[in-house]
A and B are shown apart, each in its own frame.
Chain A
């Protein structure tokens, strides 16, 4: 009997729902190596809140919150998932979520906040991030947390 019968199946690709800094190509392309198709998507049952002392937001469970809009990257490879896990640090966990793309339901994975103490009870301001936060984020956090080559 061949030995490889007992080797685990290779990990499959996953769709990734980005709701914060990773929605922006400047941040996304700094973290991953592959080229991925992307589309706007919405999720229900979650809030995107501010993180104390940081430009980026965090996703938390909020049963009655209005749907929030982000970006889905399709079929992200396992190497890039590992890079994303490293970028998101252990303060976030990648969990299965249900999203909607152009009216179609789809399963994806999103980084949920684990470190709830650092969160502020205030919705993240997308426009404010685009105007001032993104450049500061690219210079600071995104550089510090860039995955190893």
Chain B
């Protein structure tokens, strides 16, 4: 049994702590915020609770779904709803797209979905099918240095601009002109090869904190672990040959090992003594923001289909729209603006986004609205940054790292965070066993 500190109770830290607590180790989890979840968390504001951003899970998020199932029981229907792949634009947009996957074995479901896609001409559908087939079967070589824009350059304009570019921003939170083609192709293969379920849309019913981080921490506590939320860690250092020391509230605490599971921007601050270049490299990372605008309506005119959880918008300024039915009968519209670098005041962004919704729906004035901007929502998933992250060490002595940035073969997602937590736990367990 080892005494292990986990610094950061985002999804990666919570999964690392849970995995190691289940192996019988004594865990202490430190988190600066009072609500667990990191960049995918519940926000409480004036009596309302909502998520800081919209995180749609895919059926391909196998590790995330497995951990959620282990926390909520095999019957995780109360936590998640699975829907067949459906890409649909909001009503009355200039270019309407509808891609609906039928219940067929993969990748046939995607091929039929593309062949029947509404909003593309026959020749556009044929070109899209041919290209998707080549990419999914690995017959189309992808250079590590390519951007997604270069990858899809030969596609006709409609599928390129209305399908692949929005999917790239949704999956990688990086515009196609900068995004890594290798990572995008990896996402497509994981989603559309293998089982049909991999491409299903998984909609959380619980808030993001209650979906995984909070139940994970509750289990860590019942297994004898210690939870310190609202406790910003000042530094993490190596202690002797085998040990790590965590400084919190002006006090040093000694552990056998530590896992740093914070966003990359905090690592340099936690390791001021590090000379390996890790902190310097992480400090040079560039990020992409995500803004989410939540509007609450006391009622909504007809036109909102509650069976469609997610709709594509035209990108002016919002890209995706999620409708939520609230228990009090109100409806909430959450609009996602990925890679949103604008500097306009909140009121201007809100007005532009509401005007965008009004082009699709007859809406009353919202009774409440809130803009949440995560300035460093994800690292920019570019070919250069992917190479930089791949070269970083996974540990320094008995200080291990976890976080979406530790799995550069995937974009920064819930799945890469969960995977990184499991990998850090496995590495630490392996060193302990050895």
B311 nearest CB across to chain A (Å): 13
Q: Are B34 and A1 in contact (CB under 8 A)?
A: no
A149 interfacial contact with B, CB 8 Å: no
A98 interfacial contact with B, CB 8 Å: yes
B307 nearest CB across to chain A (Å): 4
- Cβ < 8 Å to A, chain B residues 225-252: 225-231, 248-249, 251
Q: Are B249 and A63 in contact (CB under 8 A)?
A: yes
A64 interfacial contact with B, CB 8 Å: yes
Chain A residue with Cβ nearest B306: A3
B205 interfacial contact with A, CB 8 Å: yes
Known: A6-B323, A61-B249. A97 touches B34 (CB 8 A): no
Q: Once the chains are docked, how many angstroms separate the CA of A95 from the CA of B224?
A: 17
Q: Once the chains are docked, how many angstroms separate the CA of A119 from the CA of B180?
A: 50
Q: Once the chains are docked, how many angstroms separate the CA of A61 from the CA of B323?
A: 39
Chain B residue with Cβ nearest A100: B224
Q: Once the chains are docked, how many angstroms separate the CA of A8 from the CA of B328?
A: 11
B121 nearest CB across to chain A (Å): 31
Chain B residue with Cβ nearest A59: B230
Q: Are A8 and B253 in contact (CB under 8 A)?
A: no
Q: Are B229 and A8 in contact (CB under 8 A)?
A: no
B355 interfacial contact with A, CB 8 Å: no
Name B224's contact: one of A62, A94, A105 (CB within 8 Å): A105
Q: Once the chains are docked, how many angstroms separate the CA of A149 from the CA of B231?
A: 34
Q: How many residues of B contact A (CB 8 A)?
A: 40
Complex interface: chain A residues within 8 A of B224 (CB): 98, 105
B225, B226, B326, most chain A CB atoms within 10 A: B226
B218 interfacial contact with A, CB 8 Å: yes
B345 interfacial contact with A, CB 8 Å: no
B325 interfacial contact with A, CB 8 Å: yes
A83 interfacial contact with B, CB 8 Å: no
Q: Are B222 and A93 in contact (CB under 8 A)?
A: no
Q: Once the chains are docked, how many angstroms separate the CA of A105 from the CA of B248?
A: 23
Q: Are A96 and B221 in contact (CB under 8 A)?
A: yes
Complex interface: chain B residues within 8 A of A93 (CB): 34, 230
Q: Are A3 and B325 in contact (CB under 8 A)?
A: yes
Name A96's contact: one of B205, B217, B323 (CB within 8 Å): B217
A112 nearest CB across to chain B (Å): 5
Q: Are B248 and A5 in contact (CB under 8 A)?
A: no
Complex interface: chain B residues within 8 A of A60 (CB): 249
Q: Are B81 and A63 in contact (CB under 8 A)?
A: no
Name B325's contact: one of A6, A64, A96, A99 (CB within 8 Å): A6
Known: A9-B78, A45-B228. A98 touches B221 (CB 8 A): yes
Complex interface: chain B residues within 8 A of A5 (CB): 81, 306-307
Complex interface: chain B residues within 8 A of A10 (CB): 327
Q: Are B78 and A63 in contact (CB under 8 A)?
A: no
Known: A61-B248, A61-B249, A63-B253. A6 touches B203 (CB 8 A): yes
A93 nearest CB across to chain B (Å): 4
Complex interface: chain A residues within 8 A of B251 (CB): 62-64
A115 nearest CB across to chain B (Å): 12
Q: Are A44 and B230 in contact (CB under 8 A)?
A: no
B214 interfacial contact with A, CB 8 Å: yes
Complex interface: chain A residues within 8 A of B179 (CB): none
Complex interface: chain B residues within 8 A of A61 (CB): 228, 230-231, 248-249
Contact with A along B205-222 (1 / 0, CB 8 A): 111001000100111111
Q: Are B79 and A9 in contact (CB under 8 A)?
A: yes
A106 interfacial contact with B, CB 8 Å: yes
B81, B218, B224, B323, most chain A CB atoms within 10 A: B218
Q: What are the 9 closest A-B residue pairs judged by CB atoms, nearest first? A: A107-B221, A98-B221, A107-B218, A1-B307, A95-B229, A93-B34, A61-B231, A3-B306, A63-B251
Interface residues of A (CB under 8 A from B): 1, 3-10, 44-45, 60-64, 93-99, 105-108, 112, 114
27 A-B Cβ contacts within 8 A? A3-B306, A3-B325, A6-B323, A6-B325, A7-B205, A7-B325, A7-B327, A8-B205, A8-B324, A9-B78, A9-B79, A9-B205, A9-B210, A60-B249, A61-B228, A61-B230, A61-B248, A62-B249, A63-B228, A64-B251, A93-B34, A95-B227, A96-B221, A96-B227, A99-B221, A105-B221, A106-B222
